[in-house]
Amino acid sequence: MPKIEIHSFFDVSRKDYFVAVCSGLLLTASFPRIGLAFVAWGALVPLIYLAARNQPPACFTLGWLAGLFHGLSLLYWITYVVNRYGNLHLPVSLGICFLLVAYLAIFPGLFCAGLSWLRHRGLPWPLAAPFLWVTLELGKSRLLTGFPWENLGYSQYSWLPVIQMADLTGVFGISFVLVLSNALLFILIFPANRQRKALTRLYPLLLLVSLVSLVVGYGSWRLVKLEDYRGPSFKVALVQGNIAQDTKWDPAFQQTTLEKYERLTKEVAKHEPQLVIWPETATPFYFLADRKNTESLFLQVREMQIPLLFGSPAYRRKGELLRFYNRAYLLDGYGMPIGYYDKIHLVPFGEYVPWKRLLFFVDKLVQAAGDFASGEQAIVLDMLPAKIGVLICYEAIFPELSRNLVNAGANFLVNITNDAWFGRSSAPYQHLSMAVLRSVENRVPMARCANTGISGFIDSRGRITQVTRLFEDATMLGTIQLGEGKTLYTRYGDWFAWSCLVVSVLGFAYSMIMIGRRK
């Protein structure tokens, strides 16, 4: 392996800075919209190379730089959202995006520094890479409300044989496989014993081939088994209203919005679906509170005699206190409400301001920040034979929420969302890619209904069977097979990720003990 040692925090060669940036950009290339899934199998090789030639402080700097360029090129759309809908000036919006990305970049920084630390303690550090990476992904997904947006495993969403293992390990298992592949590729390219290159490269090559064969073999076997499954069928219609975010809550456009949904729904109702779905906050009024518009919606459902699932803002009064909710309602074919679900995982600084006492200035700074309360439990909406688990907006990127719904009895997931905020950026495509893994993890299909797209259907294999285009009025009809039952992941959750955390802690504890003994 490379022998160059750099001892100063700042004494990093220009080439190493360039290598770090390349690693970050390669990571981005593996995600939508570029979507070169195969790149993820080797995108971290440059970062592991840097860990092999630098001291831990310099490695943290380089890893953070790689994470910074990855984050800026992946999450650039945050600037657009904050600038346009947060009513902030462009420099401030850029600063907010940079701060978020700078925080997220800490995790690849710790990854690179951690590998360097283990290398200096004489441990098999390349093979420790997947355990450390998954541990850090778990931290990123949980700390400070969590932000698991496009964890590494999501890059494989379009490669069906690879993602099938998620029913055992969740998306973290796929991340583990990808990082292990990167580590083995590094050992192949930079063998430890240069005098015996052929022999030194034989073992990692065999391990790499075995790893890929095992993952693809399991995935292919599961896909064949799932072909034999014939669950109850359920006919669903999606209505993509394509309501511009600028006019969505303008009272002058309220009737126009309702008339559009009524027209599109009547068109698709001719095909006699068993359920019609509208997007998140489809109704531009408080359902049940606004009597006139509520009665109009009741009448529409009674006329078509088809149940309707839709998003609406809601509120609950407790004394003089009003609590607002982002809610999904289910009406039966007679227009009667039979259940609702309140969004549990709210968007920080979008739907609420976390740590209000500490960040008292934020709601004044970001005028679009809401003041919503979160729901308290996973509620399944019963529309036999379907038992519907609703995920509102970016709840689809949190595996534990889908898992809780399936454990509560859901055999069908519905993701209603409003991705109009993202414009024509890569964000709607990234959002869809993460929803795919929720179906695979729990072996239940998903219907995704988005205000401006992308709407579509995902089967229990993770196959996207139908999609709409962005920013078009659209309806879609699909017949799905309801879920087959609980998977290992559904029952035990992120057991694999927590196991990686235990291994990582034990590895670093052992290295500290060895240091103590040497002293």
DSSP one-letter string for 367-426: TT---BPPP-S--EEEETTEEEEEEEGGGGG-HHHHHHHHHTT-SEEEEEE-GGGGTTSS
Instruction: Kindly report whether the peptide bond that precedes residue 306 is cis, defined as omega within 30 degrees of 0.
Output: no
Residues 6+ apart with CB under 8 A from 489: 166, 167, 168, 169, 170, 399, 403, 441, 442
H or E element in which residue 365 lies: helix 362-365
- Work out the burial of residue 271: count CB atoms within 10 Å of its CB; fewer than 13 is exposed, 13-18 middle, 19 or more buried: exposed
Look at residue 360 in the predicted model and tell me its pLDDT: 52
pLDDT tier, 413 (very low <50, low <70, confident <90, very high otherwise): very high
Q: Which of 170, 178, 132 is nearest to 152 (CA)?
A: 178
Place of tokens 């920080």: 348
Report the alpha-carbon distance of residue 423 to residue 431 in Å, rounded: 13
Look at residue 4 in the predicted model and tell me its pLDDT: 41
pLDDT score of 309 more than 70: yes
Residues 6+ apart with CB under 8 A from 208: 181, 184, 185, 188
- Work out the burial of residue 339: count CB atoms within 10 Å of its CB; fewer than 13 is exposed, 13-18 middle, 19 or more buried: middle
Report the alpha-carbon distance of residue 354 to residue 503 in Å, rounded: 32
Least confident of 24-28, 35-39, 225-229: 225-229
Tens of pLDDT, residue by residue over 459-497, are 999 999 999 999 999 999 999 999 987 899 999 999 999
Answer for the pair 43, 30: CB distance below 8 angstroms, yes or no: yes
Least confident of 76-85, 322-331, 361-370: 361-370
**Average pLDDT, integer, range 304-322:** 90
pLDDT score of 262 more than 50: yes
- Which of the residue ranges 188-192, 278-282, 320-324 has the most confident prediction, judged by mean pLDDT? 278-282
Rounded to 5 degrees, φ, ψ at 443 are 55, 50
pLDDT score of 330 more than 60: yes
Percentage above 70 pLDDT, the chain: 92
343 is catalytic: yes
Active site residue: 97, 393, 449, 500, which one? 393
Q: Which of 391, 393, 411 is nearest to 402 (CA)?
A: 391
pLDDT score of 253 more than 50: yes
Report the alpha-carbon distance of residue 386 to residue 175 in Å, rounded: 32
Active site residue: 97, 137, 343, 500, which one? 343
Look at residue 366 in the predicted model and tell me its pLDDT: 46
Angle at 74 between CA 72 and CA 75, to 5 degrees: 70
Q: What is the DSSP string of 112-160?
A: HHHHHHHHHTTS-HHHHHHHHHHHHHHHHHHGGG---TT-GGGGGTT-H
Active site residue: 280, 351, 395, 441, which one? 280
Tens of pLDDT, residue by residue over 199-221, are 667 888 999 999 999 999 999 99
pLDDT score of 167 more than 60: yes
- For the record, the structure tokens of 111 come out as 């990854």
Tens of pLDDT, residue by residue over 416-475, are 999 999 999 999 999 999 999 999 999 999 999 999 999 999 999 999 999 999 999 999
- For the record, the structure tokens of 315 come out as 């509120």
Q: Taking phi first (over 0 means left), then psi (-120 to 50 degrees means alpha), and beta for anything else, what does residue 280 get? A: beta
Look at residue 368 in the predicted model and tell me its pLDDT: 47
- Which of the residue ranges 180-194, 280-294, 360-374, 435-449 has the most confident prediction, judged by mean pLDDT? 435-449
Look at residue 365 in the predicted model and tell me its pLDDT: 44
Domains of the chain: 14-227+494-518 (no CATH), 233-483 (3.60.110.10)
- 3-class DSSP state of 326: strand
Tens of pLDDT, residue by residue over 333-368, are 999 999 999 999 888 877 766 665 555 555 544 444
Look at residue 24 in the predicted model and tell me its pLDDT: 97
